[in-house]
Each structure stands twice: as structure tokens, then as C-alpha cells.
Amino acid sequence: MASNTITETDVVAGRRPPGPSGLPVVGNLHRYLRGPLAFVESCAREYGDVVYTNVAGETYMVAHPDHVERVLVTDDHRFRKAELGQGRLEPIFGNGLVVSDGEYWRRQRTRMQPAFRPDRIAAYAEVMRRQAAATAERWVPGQTIQVDEEMRRLTLGILVQSLFGTDLGGREAEIREAFELVMGRFEGVNTWLPGWLPTPANRRFERGRERLDAIVYDLIDERRESAADRDDLLSTLLVAEDERGERMTDEAVRDEVVTLLAAGHDTTALALTYAWHLLGTHPDATDRLHAELEEVLDGATPTLADLSALEYTEAVVSEALRLYPPTHATAREATEDVAFGEYVVPGGSTIFLPQWILHRDGRWWDDPETFRPGRWLEERDRPEYAYFPFGGGPRHCIGHRFATVEARLVLATIASCWRLEPASSDLSIRPVITLRPTDPVEMVVHKR
Ligand code: HEM
């Protein structure tokens, strides 16, 4: 490089992005905890696309699609998964894909990828369809359901059967129960308490984890014998090889299985919960969805083959993921100083890429706060990373296709026979690890 060439970093060296001044030590943590979404919204409004948020230390928010693309895709070698939050997840995920990094992560990702190829999704789609139909059959007209809870049960059931097959007998209920004990650790105030405190939630977590591990290791033992002949996810993982032809240890398989259970069911359940709430509060969109289902399905239950014709159903899912992205922000740690436009973010700091802000930014979205699935059927030029509910780059969600097929099949199957009416039009949400409703989301079901 010629000596008089000025690099982007030279120009801005030392210039810290603007942001709200905080208190000594805690920075803006108190403001964040009081109202996390309001805080990030005010940061974006007042300070722009690159903000020093100072939430417990060197934390930054980067909210322009081009910057998001750099962090996740083009310059991804300058960032790693943020430590923040990983520590909380490790006790359950072990060294599974969400938590692992570096060479180990790369080898595991290579081994796992075949389990999510389109031809595998076809086998899981049958499970999705049957379980959605079973949920729809359980409801009675006029019943008030907690749709968040119903969707969580459904998506966990789908994952358990996709992972372990349909001949689990009583163990399916045991897995669900153990897993629910484990997940309690990530709800409400428990999320913030250290794991070593002997709180009831932590004790339940330990009990759940021991039970879950015992069942998963038993299933691994059984499957080692017959894995090659079966098409469930666990069998696929057991025969998966890396580029050196090596298979995973039992412990690695355990970590990946539990990671898939945790990363895969709650996120999809939330996407469906928000889709039902949005449909319930927008009768025009519901009518249009029903009209499409009648026209395409003509009374039959939907299958994977129908999905390509169900364009509006897909648009409803995309729009729900835009307005209420279950992963409301993706975090990375900069491994060196990185310039974003006129500012520099120092190496070692944590960078948040907030889906919540980008998905509702008026520069990329007309009428951004409005639920309008039809926008997905219109042409509109916008930067690719104005929308990234599944992340991007090498670490994008491995279950992306699984989740979108599942959400569309569940929505189509249930909406073919039920109309869900919200018991209240209010929806209060809070970003914890995922973007969660603060209260049960009650809806009344009406037969169509
Ligand atoms: C609507 C549903 C879902 C959403 C919104 C979602 C979102 C995401 C996002 C944003 C990431 C990237 C995180 C990062 O870059 O730090 C991710 C990663 C991941 N997701 Fe999903 N996800 C969903 C469903 C699923 C499903 C169904 C599965 C599995 C069956 C799954 C498994 C994973 C795994 C294992 C990773 C880590 C990938 C890696 O780092 O290599 N997700 N997900």
C-alpha cells in the first residue's frame, strides 16, 4: 500500500461513537433494565447508526444494514461470538453449535449441515403436519387457550419427534418434562441469577439436566446400533462425518441434540405466537389468509408440496418475524478495532446488531410499525440486511429452513379449521434471551 494512502481506520482513529452518558461503573445498565426496547429505540433515534450504549461496559449498537453485513458476512473474521450470554447458556448447551467457536465449531457445522438439507426437511414436515393437526383436534369451540404455551408444547413435540423418531413411547413426555425444568432457568428473574445459587429454579434445572442427559445418552446408545437405517435427526448426527471422515463422540452428540432442542423450539413458538396475535388483531389479514387456504387447499390438510402456493401464508410468517423477531439482537465481540463510517469501535467490545431496530426502520420499510403481510408480495428495493431474523454469514441459523417450513405448516393447518380471537389486543413484550411476551397470550378459538 502506498505510504500516503489513508485507510478508513486512520481517518477515525480514536473517535468513539456518540451515546447516552451513563453512571460510574454501571453505565446505562439501569436505563436498559428499566425498559430495554425503549432504551435501544431512544439510542437509535438520538445518536444514529453507531452508538456507544455503555450498558455494563464497552457495549455498542450498530444499526445500519451495511454495517450488519460487514459484521456477520464480509468482515466476519474480525468478530467472534460475544462472551456475553454464552456463559449463561453453556451449562445446558455444553459445547453445542450455538456456544462453540473456532475450528471445533467449523467441524461441527460441517457435520451437522446435512441434517438440515431440503430432502431431510421433507421427513420432518410429516411430523410437523401430524402434530399441528393433533393440536387443532384438542381444542373445543369457545375455549380460551394460552397460545404461547400451546405453541411451545407443539414446537417442542415436533422437535422431539424430529430428533428421536416417533416410537419413543413414554419417553417423549419424560423428555418434555425434563426440558421444561431446564428452561425454567431462563425465565423471568431466574435468567439473571447465578447458576450456583441454590434457588428452586436452579435446583429444578440440575434435576432436569440430569434426567435429560440420562435419556439422551440412552437414546444415543440404542441408536448407535441402527442409525444408518433411520431418518430421524439423531441418527443423521450419529453417522455424520467431518472432512476427515471422523464421527462425533457421544458427548458432542449430546451437546448438539440439547442445543437443537433449546435453540429450535422456543424461537419458532414465539414466531407463531406473534403471528397468531397479529392475525387476531388484523381481521383483514386473517380473511385474506383464510381465502388463500380455501383456494389452494380446497378443504384438504396442507402438505409440504402446498407451501410454495401458499404465498400469503409465507408473507404472514415473514411479517411476524419482521415486527417481533424472536432473536431481537445478535451479539458479537470485535477482536480488533473496527471502523464503521466515521466512528471506531475498539477491539474487545461487544457489538449488538438489533433486529428490533432495523426491522422497524422507516428508511427501509414503508409504514414500519404496521402489520401488512402484503408488503412481502410487492417489489421493493432494500438492503439485504434490513431484515435478518435468522442472522447471516457462516453462523446463520442452521434451522432456518426447518423453522420456516414448520411455521407455515402449523399456521396453515390450524388456520384451516380455527379462527383465533385475542382475549386482549394488548401485547406486552420483553427481550430476555429471546423476545418474550411478559404475560400469557390468551386467545379464544372459534371453529371455521
Ligand atoms: C423462528 C425461529 C428461529 C429464529 C428466529 C432463529 C434465529 C437464529 C439466529 C438469529 C441465529 C444466529 C445467532 C448468531 O449469529 O449469533 C441462530 C442460530 C442457530 N439456530 Fe436458530 N432460529 C430459529 C429456529 C431454529 C431451529 C428450528 C433450529 C434447530 C432445529 C435452530 C438452531 C440454531 C442453531 C444450532 C444455531 C447456531 C448456529 C451456528 O452458530 O452455527 N434455530 N438462530
pLDDT tens per residue across span 176-204: 888 888 877 776 666 666 777 778 888 88
Q: What band does 73 get if pLDDT is binned at 50, 70 and 90? A: very high
Cell of 74: 464480509
CB 68 within 8 A of CB 392: yes
Rounded Cα distance, 407 and 401, in Å = 10
Q: What band does 86 get if pLDDT is binned at 50, 70 and 90? A: low
N-term to C-term CA, the chain: 69
Residue range 276-284: mean pLDDT, rounded: 97
pLDDT of residue 126: 93
pLDDT of residue 187: 67
* H or E segment and range at residue 95: none
Q: Say if residue 11's pLDDT is above 70.
A: no
Q: What band does 314 get if pLDDT is binned at 50, 70 and 90? A: very high
Distance 264 CA to ligand 1 centre (A): 7
pLDDT digits 0-9 by tens, 402-412 = 999 999 999 99
Q: What band does 5 get if pLDDT is binned at 50, 70 and 90? A: very low
Atom of ligand 1 nearest to the CA of 259: 35
Q: Say if residue 25's pLDDT is above 80.
A: no
pLDDT of residue 192: 65
Q: Say if residue 318's pLDDT is above 70.
A: yes
Q: Whose grid coordinates read 462425518? A: 241
Distance 116 CA to ligand 1 centre (A): 12
Rounded Cα distance, 33 and 21, in Å = 16
Residue range 333-356: mean pLDDT, rounded: 94
| Out of 4-8, 116-120, 434-438, least confident range | 4-8
Of 76 and 15, more confident: 76
Tell me the fold of 1-74+329-388: 3.30.43
Q: What band does 226 get if pLDDT is binned at 50, 70 and 90? A: confident
Across 173-182, 195-204, 244-253, 301-310, which has the greatest mean pLDDT?
301-310
pLDDT of residue 144: 97
State the chain's mean pLDDT as an integer: 89
Q: Say if residue 346's pLDDT is above 80.
A: yes
Q: What band does 222 get if pLDDT is binned at 50, 70 and 90? A: confident
Of 146 and 31, more confident: 146
Which residues lie with the beta carbon below 6 Å from any ligand 1 atom? 81, 97-98, 109, 259-260, 263-264, 267-268, 271, 326-327, 330, 389-391, 395, 397-399, 402-403
Distance 396 CA to ligand 1 centre (A): 7
Q: What band does 84 get if pLDDT is binned at 50, 70 and 90? A: low
Q: Where are the domains of the chain?
A: 1-74+329-388, 75-327+389-447
CB 220 within 8 A of CB 253: yes
Rounded Cα distance, 107 and 248, in Å = 10
| Parallel/antiparallel/unpaired status of strands 429-431 and 435-437 | antiparallel
Rounded Cα distance, 47 and 340, in Å = 14
Share of the chain above pLDDT 90, in %: 65
**For residue 17, how many C-alpha atoms fall within 13 Å in the half-sphere facing its CB?**
29
CB 396 within 8 A of CB 73: no
Distance 261 CA to ligand 1 centre (A): 11
Residue range 98-116: mean pLDDT, rounded: 91
CB 17 within 8 A of CB 343: yes
pLDDT of residue 9: 43
**DSSP assignment of 11-27:** HHTT-PPP----BTTTB
pLDDT of residue 1: 35
Distance 398 CA to ligand 1 centre (A): 6
Residue nearest to atom 7 of ligand 1 (CA): 390
pLDDT of residue 2: 35
Residue range 225-246: mean pLDDT, rounded: 82
* H or E segment and range at residue 43: helix 36-47
* H or E segment and range at residue 52: strand 50-52
Q: What band does 88 get if pLDDT is binned at 50, 70 and 90? A: low
Cell of 95: 459445547
Atom of ligand 1 nearest to the CA of 105: 41
Across 4-13, 32-41, 135-144, which has the greatest mean pLDDT?
135-144
Q: Say if residue 3's pLDDT is above 70.
A: no
Say which CATH superfamily domain 75-327+389-447 falls into.
Answer: Cytochrome P450 (1.10.630.10)
pLDDT of residue 198: 78
Atom of ligand 1 nearest to the CA of 81: 16
Residue type, 236: T
